[in-house]
Structure 1
Amino acid sequence: MSTTDPGSTNSGSTVRDLIARSNALGADPRFTNYAGGNTSAKGTATDPVTGADVELLWVKGSGGDLGTLTEQDLAVLRLDRVRALREVYLGPAGGLEREDEMVAAFDYCLHGRGGAAPSIDTAMHALVDAAHVDHLHPDAGIAIACAADGEKLTEQVYGDKVVWVPWRRPGFQLGLDIAAIKDANPQAVGTILGGHGITAWGATSAEAEANSRWIIETAETFLMRNSAAEPFGPVLDGYGPLPPEGRRARAAALAPVIRGLASTDKPQVGHFSDTDAVLDFLSRTEHPRLAALGTSCPDHFLRTKVKPLVLDLPPTATVEDSIARLEELHTAYRADYQAYYDRHADEDSPAIRGADPLIVLVPGVGMFSYGKDAQTARVAGEFYVNAINVMRGAEGVSTYAPIDEAEKFRIEYWALEEAKLARMPKPRPLATRIALVTGAASGIGKAIATRLAAEGACVVIADLDLAKAQAAAAEIGNTDVAVGVAADVSNPEAVKAAIDEAVLAFGGLDLVVNNAGLSISKPLLETTERDWDLQHDVMAKGSFLVAQAAARVLIAQGLGGDIVYIASKNSVFAGPNNIAYSAVKADQAHQVRLLAAELGEHGIKVNGVNPDGVVRGSGIFSGGWGAKRAAVYGVPEEELGAYYAQRTLLKREVLPEHVANAVFVLTGGELSHTTGLHVPVDAGVAAAFLR
């Protein structure tokens, strides 16, 4: 027996059918977008307390996603209690001013323990007299819902099988409206909700799904057959897309600056997209007018803000001119958004949540979208593509006419939205931070990347072996968490390419760990010039190249940042048969001091970590270094870690995770005023004490 579905076998099949239908609809981006829409089913279950049958509503809860919906994402409510709210709402003191109270009252209609919080759309599902109800946000349906003559189009497309519902903010009254329409139109299978989306219903789960699909596919067919040839107008001279390589190079050059602008009020993670839909939209004459009208569907503008920032220069403009214009437009955007807030806010409105854009459009290049994490940023971009599709559909058969600004404000700054934001979990220490770790496919680098991701960072795994880098990233998480890139740190072009990949993956860069390395253990007379050059190329030169390329991004962003060098106790300690490795580690250690002094004015902290020999999990030690060091000390290779531990003050072996801990301490926020520091992670080697 489930905590969210306490009842009979019949109720179990009802829930299974609902989840299957939800997942099927949610898996198709034509039907709805991420976390958008909701589905429901009504049925009878046994009350575990009284043993009597009760009518229940299972409905997708607040914040859930149809494509990945599980039983725990459903809210389960007593229908008799929800229906009783009708009399409360329509009573002498009732009406639209009690909308928020109705949502709070849903909590007192819940059945059983657990499950999700009821959403604002619960009334739509509970009050409509149908066993199964779907509410979706398909692009084709919203195109009709946002057309200037949407009501006429609805009749033209569907006859009397789908009924037009004028725009109304989601809530209890909208549920009453749709219920009344269904009662008055027994032949209807659903509605077009003005400015919003669609609703469909059925006596069975299969029938509801079929009706949803029919409404959406019928709209798609109508738009395809009747649309004007160029809904967005002809191509603007000089506004066509740059070639792919040039496009990505321009995006990488602009991304740090744009992210810095978009993070004026609070840090944001970014996402870049250059899909055909975006590039075509930005190449057309009507894109400035349409972008200024903003998005319409509440699910869209809650994630994209009411409108984007659009660069009004062609892609032939220089990077420098584009940056200067973006800075001017950003100032104007912030003033415009503040004015929008001031026009509509009253004494009960939540405080302004920030005036920076979440969508920045650059003709010929693409779209930059922003959010509190990589998934939110990516989804914001996906929603704006949905908005472009809606505009195309509406302009193709009519004129795009979104809901007015005042209504957008009422939803964006709705007290219920503010309450939803307040319920969000506290951000992890490295949330919104983007980290690049070199040599991170194994050993210390992989442990560092894993720890940074666990603390909320987006992580770029850079390694000489691309396949291993991508495999390590996949172990850490999906591409909203970690990506793998190839990086020969001794090659400046390869380093720039890796930094560009990081910037395009997550919008910018905040934290760089110079960890890539190798070692050759030989005495002075056996160390060749090639041995010397190889180690200096990878660690001294490589660290310099990575820090230099990263600093350009960090300075352009204007958000500060961290650079951490994984040096070694050998940068201080003089051991035998180790001339090249120890010399290059001393070089890295002094780079820390030099860069801390130079980059401090930009708010960039530069620190180092000095580990002792990390044997377990180390790529260096497994590559032959361990055998050579074991031979130097006269111990079996498998006992080298224990040998190192015994020469320390604490008698403890150093593991990759211990180095990762030090990196997190340096970058996690507590040491905000510390730069130029070397942290020993060697269990206590007196000869390596810093003096």
Structure 2
Amino acid sequence: MTSTHAPAPFPTWNQSHAATLDASGLLLYRSNLLGSDLRITNYGGGNTSAKIVQQDPLTGQDVTVLWVKGSGGDVGSMKLDGFSTLYLDKLQALQGIYRGPEHEDEMVAYLPHCTFNLNPRAASIDTPLHAYLPFAHVDHMHPDSVIAIAAMANSEALTKKIFEGTVGWLPWRKPGFELGLMLQRYQAEHPQQRGLVLAGHGLFTWGADAKSCYENTVGVIEHAQNWLAKESAAKGAASFGGVARAALPVAEQDATLAKLLPVLRGLASKTGHKLLHVDRQATVMEFVNSRDLAPLAALGTSCPDHFLRTKICPMLVEEAVYALEGKALAEALESKLVAYRAGYAAYYERCKRANSPAIRDANPVIILLPGIGMVSIAKDKATARIAGEFYVNAINVMRDANAVDTYVGLPEQEAFDIEYWLLEEAKLQRMPKAKPLVGKVSVVTGGAGGIGRAIVERQLQEGACTVLLDIDAAALDTTVAELSKKYGKDVVRGVVCDVTSEASVMAAYAQATIEFGGVDILVSNAGIASAAPIEDTTLALWNRNQSILATGYFLVGREAFRLMKAQGQGGSMVFIASKNGMVASNQAVAYCAAKAAEIQLSRSFALEGAPLGIRCNVVNPDAVIRGSKIWTGTWSQERAAANKVDEQDLEAFYRDRSMLKRSVFPEDIAEATYFFCAEHLSAKSTGNILNVDAGNLAAFTR
């Protein structure tokens, strides 16, 4: 049953701000405002346009230019460079060379010839839909409430009833030139209407100016939302057939996810590394715990934007699988995936055309877990998250449609023709090559320190998702906030972790697994430093070094090893040791012994990991003074005293004692670490030591 709570108001048009904007600025403001509310349109969905009079740079004459959201992009976050600009008269002239529906795709090649002012932004397939409506401002949105109406069995009749004839209706047709002409003809025959519902697709609305267009769009959506809520309440039917099961306790959900996700991720990553996103919001939980879960999931989605990102239907995992362990769990999940892939391949064979692109990755994108929630899988975190958001849109549509009428998914052939559309394939082929670490998850201990942060930044630059572990909560929060702002919130997580505590380490890996699905890279970097003559080295000081630098490295390494083994896709571990692990320093017995233990520990991981494709290597820094947290406290004073130099001369001392007479910085350690993390650079390196010390003869490995 639809919620009886009053919905939050839609974003309000700020006329004071709007008054300061020019025509293109008003279009951008309207677009961003519409895209700021997922009830209006989903991420990347829909488009907006304005017909603006501008001076032609060739003739100096005033011409009407269609500004319309270009191919790709998102109305909520786009900037002015996200709009295509095209001569309206040239777009109109294309109607004269159109050869009919069977040739409509060829019209896309003519759009670049209509470009105004050499704008490089590629025009969208939806451009004719905006060009051929006779309004200065047009919005095409994908609101859940209207798509619910568009996906009902009696969509046409209900559209007329709901909007009392003020909003029109057109049957399903895929986006393109023909649909643009259909809109043009329909509006000419119904000039008094304020909008159009496209069956199985979305909503078109318009206005004479930016503000009236925005208010009309929001008004139609709000009317649909209110009507559905009222009608659903009157019918009194339970959402999705009612509750079939209770959600598992959160702790049990977490434990199950931590066990399932690495196995699931590994099995789905055989065609390339993937990342996972978990969604347990109330809407998802209501759906996965409902009586109608299985039949509704099998129907697939309706709106093209939905199934392009979620595939034709999700995979459902039965609760009995949750209790399995080890080999039995892997076999059960593999059986589910094999069945799903076979079903997808059969769908491809049933629907393929003579010129269809080759079948793509047949693994599911959406996985439904009764009692737990939903998991989405994609090549990167943002794509996985957005796919989940689209399926939430689909859930909302199914709930509202079934509450009033009967939900119908798009016919299978129509769905296939969108998914394997040659124009969509061309768009995919234009995508830039992925960075080397896209799809990889890295855990970096001591991630909020100078060396740790440099390592994290280097990985983020190459597309990794990174989980920073650090015991300093304040420093961790600051670092994660700064990195999230720079690289995006999807790719950075921070977990407070004490590497000397087995429980803390295990909990940190469980959280990393729930966030991303598993771990591919471990950089064990957390550290301390201490100095004292042997006779002054207390047991407490010895134990502290061993606990953090030896036991800590063992614990974080062991848990990473377990996850990598469960995933079955190999992995890379890098231990940040020290020159002191190779050659002892005066008055640092506890530190040197612990660092030597790290190196020998890494060799053990390399030995046992090799049959599993898990590599383990060591980076040995020396004298990284700037930016390294180990020089805080008394360590700087102690090393200066041991080397009989003034503390302020310590950096120069270390630089000058090196063979290359160069200082070593955190970025240097990060670069060496990246080499071992990157499969394309070091796939055949394991058990190795890379010194980054500007040259120290005593520390030579051979």
TM-score, normalized by length of structure 2?
A: 0.94
Provide the rounded CA distance (Å) in 1 between the counterparts of 2:527 and 2:128. Answer: 61
Instruction: From 351, 361, 366, give the equivalent of 2:368.
Output: 361
Instruction: From 335, 342, 350, give the equivalent of 1:335.
Output: 342
Provide the rounded CA distance (Å) in 2 between the counterparts of 1:624 and 1:114. Answer: 60
Provide the rounded CA distance (Å) in 2 between the counterparts of 1:594 and 1:502. Answer: 24
Residue 590 of structure 1, CA deviation: 0.5
Residue 358 of structure 1, CA deviation: 0.8
Instruction: From 515, 530, 549, give the equivalent of 1:539.
Output: 549
Instruction: From 58, 69, 73, give the equivalent of 2:78.
Output: 69
- CA deviations on 1:258-305 (whole Å, 9 max, x unpaired) are 211222322111111111111110111111001111111111111111
- Equivalent residue, structure 1, for 2:311: 305
Runs of at least 5 residues in structure 2 that lack an aligned partner in the other structure: 1-18
- Equivalent residue, structure 1, for 2:355: 348
1:160 pairs with 2:160: no
On the 8 A contact 1:453/1:459 being kept in 2, the answer is yes
Residue 384 of structure 1, CA deviation: 0.7
Provide the rounded CA distance (Å) in 1 between the counterparts of 2:300 and 2:320. Answer: 21
Query: Partner of 2:226: helix, strand, or coil?
Result: helix
- Equivalent residue, structure 2, for 1:80: 89
- Equivalent residue, structure 1, for 2:268: 262
On the 8 A contact 1:71/1:115 being kept in 2, the answer is no
Which runs of structure 2 are paired with 1:438-477 in the superposition (5 Å)?
A: 438-477=445-484
Residue 370 of structure 1, CA deviation: 1.6
On the 8 A contact 1:54/1:78 being kept in 2, the answer is yes
Provide the rounded CA distance (Å) in 1 between the counterparts of 2:254 and 2:138. Answer: 44
1:683 pairs with 2:694: yes
Instruction: From 550, 555, 564, give the equivalent of 2:574.
Output: 564
Provide the rounded CA distance (Å) in 2 between the counterparts of 1:344 and 1:316. Answer: 35
Residue 636 of structure 1, CA deviation: 2.0
- CA deviations on 1:597-630 (whole Å, 9 max, x unpaired) are 1011111111110111211101001232112101
Provide the rounded CA distance (Å) in 1 between the counterparts of 2:272 and 2:197. Answer: 37
Provide the rounded CA distance (Å) in 2 between the counterparts of 1:322 and 1:395. Answer: 35
Instruction: From 182, 199, 218, give the equivalent of 1:213.
Output: 218
- CA deviations on 1:527-573 (whole Å, 9 max, x unpaired) are 10000111111110011100111111111111111111001111111
1:660 pairs with 2:667: no
- Equivalent residue, structure 1, for 2:681: 670
Instruction: From 127, 131, 150, give the equivalent of 2:155.
Output: 150
- Equivalent residue, structure 2, for 1:426: 433
- Equivalent residue, structure 2, for 1:233: 241
Residue 419 of structure 1, CA deviation: 1.2
Instruction: From 15, 27, 36, give the equivalent of 1:27.
Output: 36
Query: Partner of 2:277: helix, strand, or coil?
Result: strand
Provide the rounded CA distance (Å) in 2 between the counterparts of 1:316 and 1:434. Answer: 24
Which runs of structure 2 are paired with 1:440-519 in the superposition (5 Å)?
A: 440-477=447-484, 478-519=488-529
Query: Partner of 2:374: helix, strand, or coil?
Result: strand
Which residue identity does 2:308 align to in structure 1? L
Runs of at least 5 residues in structure 1 that lack an aligned partner in the other structure: 1-9
Provide the rounded CA distance (Å) in 2 between the counterparts of 1:150 and 1:468. Answer: 55
Q: 1:296 to 1:319 in 2, by over 3 A?
A: farther
Query: Partner of 1:68: helix, strand, or coil?
Result: coil
Instruction: From 4, 15, 18, give the equivalent of 2:27.
Output: 18
Residue 325 of structure 1, CA deviation: 3.1
Residue 324 of structure 1, CA deviation: 4.2
Query: Partner of 1:447: helix, strand, or coil?
Result: helix
Instruction: From 595, 606, 611, give the equivalent of 2:616.
Output: 606
- Equivalent residue, structure 1, for 2:282: 276
Which residue identity does 1:428 align to in structure 2? K
| Worse-matched range after superposition: 468-477 or 514-523 | 468-477
Provide the rounded CA distance (Å) in 1 between the counterparts of 2:208 and 2:294. Answer: 45
Query: Partner of 1:31: helix, strand, or coil?
Result: coil
- Equivalent residue, structure 1, for 2:411: 404
Which residue identity does 2:237 align to in structure 1? A
Instruction: From 24, 30, 36, give the equivalent of 2:45.
Output: 36
Provide the rounded CA distance (Å) in 1 between the counterparts of 2:216 and 2:568. Answer: 52
Provide the rounded CA distance (Å) in 1 between the counterparts of 2:162 and 2:370. Answer: 34
Provide the rounded CA distance (Å) in 1 between the counterparts of 2:320 and 2:254. Answer: 16
Q: 1:182 to 1:319 in 2, by over 3 A?
A: farther
On the 8 A contact 2:260/2:322 being kept in 1, the answer is no
Provide the rounded CA distance (Å) in 2 between the counterparts of 1:415 and 1:635. Answer: 71
Instruction: From 197, 200, 214, give the equivalent of 1:195.
Output: 200
Provide the rounded CA distance (Å) in 1 between the counterparts of 2:137 and 2:559. Answer: 56
Provide the rounded CA distance (Å) in 2 between the counterparts of 1:160 and 1:224. Answer: 20
On the 8 A contact 1:11/1:44 being kept in 2, the answer is no
Aligned Cα RMSD in Å? 1.5
Residue 208 of structure 1, CA deviation: 1.3
Residue 317 of structure 1, CA deviation: 4.2
On the 8 A contact 1:133/1:200 being kept in 2, the answer is yes
Identity between Structure 1 and Structure 2 (%) = 46
Which residue identity does 1:54 align to in structure 2? V
Q: 1:188 to 1:319 in 2, by over 3 A?
A: farther
- Equivalent residue, structure 2, for 1:4: none
Residue 322 of structure 1, CA deviation: 5.8
Provide the rounded CA distance (Å) in 1 between the counterparts of 2:324 and 2:519. Answer: 23
Residue 323 of structure 1, CA deviation: 5.1
Residue 98 of structure 1, CA deviation: 2.1
On the 8 A contact 1:11/1:45 being kept in 2, the answer is no
On the 8 A contact 1:127/1:175 being kept in 2, the answer is yes
Which runs of structure 2 are paired with 1:383-402 in the superposition (5 Å)?
A: 383-402=390-409
Query: Partner of 2:22: helix, strand, or coil?
Result: helix
Q: Number of matched residues? A: 676
Which residue identity does 2:257 align to in structure 1? A
Which residue identity does 2:279 align to in structure 1? S
Residue 352 of structure 1, CA deviation: 1.4
- CA deviations on 1:230-272 (whole Å, 9 max, x unpaired) are 1301222xx3211122212221221111211222322111111
Provide the rounded CA distance (Å) in 1 between the counterparts of 2:81 and 2:322. Answer: 52
Instruction: From 416, 422, 427, give the equivalent of 2:423.
Output: 416
Instruction: From 37, 56, 59, give the equivalent of 2:65.
Output: 56
Which residue identity does 2:243 align to in structure 1? V
Query: Partner of 1:187: helix, strand, or coil?
Result: coil
- CA deviations on 1:114-156 (whole Å, 9 max, x unpaired) are 3521111111000111111100001111101111111111011
1:594 pairs with 2:604: yes
Which residue identity does 2:238 align to in structure 1? E
Query: Partner of 1:111: helix, strand, or coil?
Result: coil
On the 8 A contact 2:170/2:199 being kept in 1, the answer is yes
Query: Partner of 1:263: helix, strand, or coil?
Result: helix
Which residue identity does 1:142 align to in structure 2? I
TM-score, normalized by length of structure 1?
A: 0.96
Which residue identity does 1:41 align to in structure 2? A
On the 8 A contact 1:394/1:400 being kept in 2, the answer is yes
Residue 507 of structure 1, CA deviation: 1.9
- Equivalent residue, structure 1, for 2:4: none
- Equivalent residue, structure 2, for 1:125: 130
Residue 428 of structure 1, CA deviation: 1.1
Which runs of structure 2 are paired with 1:104-119 in the superposition (5 Å)?
A: 104-119=109-124
Q: 1:681 to 1:348 in 2, by over 3 A?
A: same
Residue 332 of structure 1, CA deviation: 0.0
| Worse-matched range after superposition: 610-619 or 340-349 | 340-349
- Equivalent residue, structure 1, for 2:11: none
Provide the rounded CA distance (Å) in 2 between the counterparts of 1:664 and 1:76. Answer: 42
- Equivalent residue, structure 1, for 2:15: none
- CA deviations on 1:421-470 (whole Å, 9 max, x unpaired) are 11111111111111110001011111101111111101111100223212
Which runs of structure 2 are paired with 1:307-322 in the superposition (5 Å)?
A: 307-313=313-319, 317-318=323-324
